[in-house]
Structures are given as C-alpha cells and as structure tokens.
Structure 1
Amino acid sequence: MMIISPSLLACDFLNIESELNAFEGFEDLWFHLDIMDAHFVPNLTFGHPIVKLISKKTKIPLDAHFMVSNPEFFIETFKDFNIHNFTFHIEATENSFELIKKAKKYYPSVGVSIKPKTPLEDISSEVLANIDLLLIMSVEPGFGGQAFIEESYERIEYFNKLKTQYPNLTIQVDGGVSNINADKLRKAGADNLVAGSYIFKEGPTTYREKVESLRR
C-alpha cells in the first residue's frame, strides 16, 4: 500500500501533541519532519529539542528530511531520536556514498533527496544500489505550500524504470501533493507521498479522509 507521510511543518505547532495523537491507528503512515538550517535553504524549522519531544509522543515512524548544509553532523546528533528514515540532499555533500554507509549504522532506512533542477545523473548507480529511499522534490525545498512542478512526473518515471535494477528502492515525492495529482504520481511510480498543506489545512476531523484520498 502507498505510504502517506503527513508533513508536520504544516501542523498546528501550539497543539503538536494532539496533532500527533489524531493520526494514531492509521496504517502505512510516516510523520515527515522537514529539518531546515537557514543555510542550505532560507527557512529554519525543527531543532533537536522538538524532534526529541515528538519521538517520545508517537509510535508512528518518523521520516526526517534534512535540508541542511552539513548532514553528517545530524547523523550523529539525531541517532537517539527513534528516526525511522534519514534523508539528506545529494546537493549538500560530495561524499554521498560515505554518508549513506555512516547513516545505515543508526537508521533502518536511509535516503537521498534531489532538487527539481538537479540533473538526474547526479545520483550515481553506487548511491542507488545502497539507499532505501529516493526523495524527488516536486517543489523547491525550503517552504511549504508551493505549487507542484509538472516536470516532476518525468523525473519519477525515470527512476521508476530503474527499479528493475534496484528493486528495493522506494520513491518518495514531496511538494504540492494533493488528491488532484496523487493518482498520477502513483502511476508514474511513486510509493510514498508527502503532504502538508493538503492534509492539515482543514483540521483533525478531515485527517483520515485526506490520507485515504491520497491512496485512491
């Protein structure tokens, strides 16, 4: 089944514990954490204390997306926060393979992310053979609520064709995801959809409905 990853960047921060609890009992769900450093991207979001608190308040797998200039630092500092998936940007380092090996010591799943304008060939066969997840950004990283970039479908299809070589590869898509494009994303090859504004904008009473609408 398609995994849905509600992006907590869009949740009600003043009531974050009740927001987390509203998803308890949902199946095939991850909580997506956008970790931004105000350097790799212009925004600044979750710090260590908040992620530590979140990890203690939910049993739903945590999916951390590091939009940071120094992902190696976070591999060490987040290792005790019960993070299920650790994703860093291919553009943030020249040593992706070494970082993947290091992250795999601490995290069940390790992924890399690629910006909308980054050449697809920048992700080497060595990287693809060793990651668990590839995050295709369908908006420019740094801010929530952006419009979906239509060229993203072609990028998803490109990597979906490579699944014959890398059958364990999960393709995650983040940015402008809603019920309008979810079916087309699935048909292009997406296995995991990150959605923030679409899920959270109308409040807790719609969360289950919104999650299920992304799977139809």
Structure 2
Amino acid sequence: MTTISPSLLACDFLNIESELGHFSNFKNIWFHLDIMDSHFVPNLTFGHPIVEKISKKTKIKLDAHFMVSNPEFFINTFKDFEIHNFTFHLEATTDPLSLIKKAKEYYPSVGISIKPNTECSLITDEILREIDLILIMSVEPGFGGQSFIEDTYSKIKYFKKLKDSSHPNLVIQVDGGVNKENSHKLIKAGANNLVAGSYIFKDGPSSYSAKIESLRS
C-alpha cells in the first residue's frame, strides 16, 4: 500500500493538536515536516520547539525534510524528537555519505532529496546503497501550493529501475503538487510514498480520510 505523508506545513497551525488527532486512526501514513531555514530556500518554517511538541502529541511516524544549508547541525539537534525519517538535500552537502552515516546513528530511516533541476545520476549507486529513501521534488522547494513539474515522472522511473535491479527496499517519495489527478500516474511510475499538503488540508477535517484514499486509488 502506498504511504501518504500529509505535509503539516498546510495544516491549521492555530489548532495543530486537533489537526494531528484527526489522523490518529488512519493507516500507513507519515506526517511530513518541512524544515526550512530561509537560506537554502527562500522561506522560514517551524523549528525545534514546534517539532518537539508535535512528537509528543502523535504516534504517527514523523518524516522530516530539511531544506537547510547545514543539515549536519540538525542531525544532532533533532535526535531526541522521535523523528522516523531524516531527509536532507544532496545540494546542501559536499559529502553526503558522511552525513548519511552520521544520521543513521539516530534515525531509523535516512533519505536524500533532489531539486527538480538536479541530475538523478548525481545520486550514485554508493549513495543508494546507504539511504532508505529518495525524495524527488516535483516543485521548487520553499513554498507550498506550487504547480507540479511534469519531468518528475522520468525521475521516478529512473529510480524505480534502480530499485528493481539492486535496491529493493528503497522508498521513492514525491513532494510537490500531488493530488488525485496525478497520484495514480505517480504510483504507476514507481512512487510508493506521496507527500501532499494543500490537497489534503484545504477543505478541512471532514475531507481528510477521503482525500488520502483518493491519492491511493
């Protein structure tokens, strides 16, 4: 079953505890946390205090996506917040293997993300052997609500081929502009974890279950 990762960046932050509770009985979901530093990307989102509080209010797996210039700093400072998956950007480091090794000391799953214009081939086989997840950005990272970039499908197929040949446990995650119109095609191409923010949250809590199932079907 495809994992759906609601992006909390799009939720009602004034009522975040209630928002978390609406998902408590849903199966196979992660909460996606967009951590931005206003340097690597032109936006600033929530930091340590908010993530710590979220971690104490839910049992759903937390999936942290660090759009930051210094991911090595956050490996240490987030290690006590019950983060399941720690994803950093390939473009933010010159030594991804070292960062992966360090992150694996604290996090059950470690991922790497690539921006839309980054070549897939820069994720070497050596890197793929060490990571648990590849996050393909289908919009430019920094802001929610952007339009989906069509070239994403070819990137998914590229990593699906590598997954099938030699990395069977690799999670292929897609983030940006995901909705019911493109989710089936994304899954067919090889994605097995879909991040969605605006699509899930925009119509309020009564629609959350139906929105999540529409992405899977």
Tell me if TM exceeds 0.5: yes
| Matched AA of 1:19 | E
Residue 66 of structure 1 and its aligned partner are, at CA, apart by 0.1
Partner of 2:28: 28
Give the match for residue 192 of structure 1.
193
- SS of aligned partner of 1:38: coil
Query: Which one-letter code corresponds to 1:69 in the other structure?
Result: S
Aligned residues: 216
Aligned residue for 1:65, secondary structure, equals strand
Give, in angstroms, the shift of residue 165 of structure 1: 1.1
The match for 1:111 is: 111
Q: Say what the alpha-carbon RMSD is for the aligned residues.
A: 0.4
Q: What's 1:43 paired with?
A: 43
Measure the CA separation in 1 of the matches of 2:36 and 2:205: 25
Report the TM-score when normalising by structure 2.
0.99
In 2: Cα distance, 1:47 partner to 1:130 partner: 27
Alignment-derived partner of residue 205 in structure 1? 206
Once residues 93 and 59 of structure 2 are traced to their aligned partners in structure 1, the CA distance between those partners, rounded to angstroms, is: 31
Name the SS of the counterpart of 2:180 in structure 1. coil
Displacement after TM superposition at 1:120 (Å): 1.0
Structure 1 residues 91-129: Cα deviation after superposition (integer angstroms, max 9, x where no partner)? 000010000000001000000000000011111111101
How do 1:120-159 and structure 2 match up within 5 A? 120-159=120-159
Residue aligning to 1:70: 70
Deviation at 1:168, TM superposition (A): 1.2
| Residue 177 of structure 1: aligned partner | 178
Q: What's the CA shift for 1:46?
A: 1.2
Structure 1: stretches of 5+ with no match in the other structure: none
CA distance in 1, matches of 2:216, 2:125: 30
Q: Could you list the per-position Cα deviations for residues 181-212 of structure 1 after superposition, in whole angstroms to 9, with x for gaps in the alignment?
A: 00000000001000000000000000000000
Could you report, residue by residue, the CA deviation over 1:52-82 in whole angstroms, capped at 9, with x for unpaired residues?
Answer: 0000000000000000000000000000000
Post-superposition shift, 1:151? 0.6
Q: How far apart are the structure 2 equivalents of 1:84 and 1:46?
A: 18
Three-state SS of the structure 2 residue aligned to 1:129 is helix
Partner residue in 2 for 1:81: 81
SS of 2:34's partner is strand
Partners in 2 of 1:101 and 1:28 — Cα distance? 27
Q: Alignment partner of 1:214: what SS?
A: helix
Query: Identity of counterpart residues, as a percentage?
Result: 73
Deviations 1:147-206 (A, max 9, x none): 000010001001100012111111000000000000000000001000000000000000
| 1:10 alignment partner in structure 2 | 10
3-state SS of paired residue (1:34): strand
Counterparts of 1:135 and 1:86, CA distance in 2: 11
Match in the other structure for 1:160:
160
